Structure 1
Amino acid sequence: MPEAHFQYDEADRALLDRIRERLQLSSRDEAAEWLVKARLRRAAMKLTGRGRALYPVGRGER
């Protein structure tokens, strides 16, 4: 998966640090990734009414 790099201002860094500490993540980037995935989950739930996987699912594997 491609990686994106962002510059954070002071408010962003403070928010990411609070999330990082609360979830015991190792970096601000992990906190940002968690925020994006959480938002995608909520959007998918709102759109479909069901949870959806946020990772590739193999076909035919059981």
Structure 2
Amino acid sequence: MKFLYLVFALFLLFSLATPGYGKVRKTCAPVGYCSPKCRVMDLKYTSADCKYSCCIPTTWKGK
């Protein structure tokens, strides 16, 4: 039984340490633009419809 607990704990730690685990990928089209490199003041995140990353201009951050 202790072995099963150990296997489950290792699986849980591995799955939570995986980058991007549990993140919902949103669309970029209505508020931002797709680009391999964002401007310095833009917010950068991954998106389902962008190959590289979605860049949101600073005017959209608070809206």
TM-score clears 0.5: no
Question: When the two structures are superposed, what TM-score results if normalisation uses the length of structure 1?
Answer: 0.32
Question: When the two structures are superposed, what TM-score results if normalisation uses the length of structure 2?
Answer: 0.32
Query: Which is greater in Rg?
Result: 2
Greater share of residues in strand: 2
Greater share of residues in helix: 1
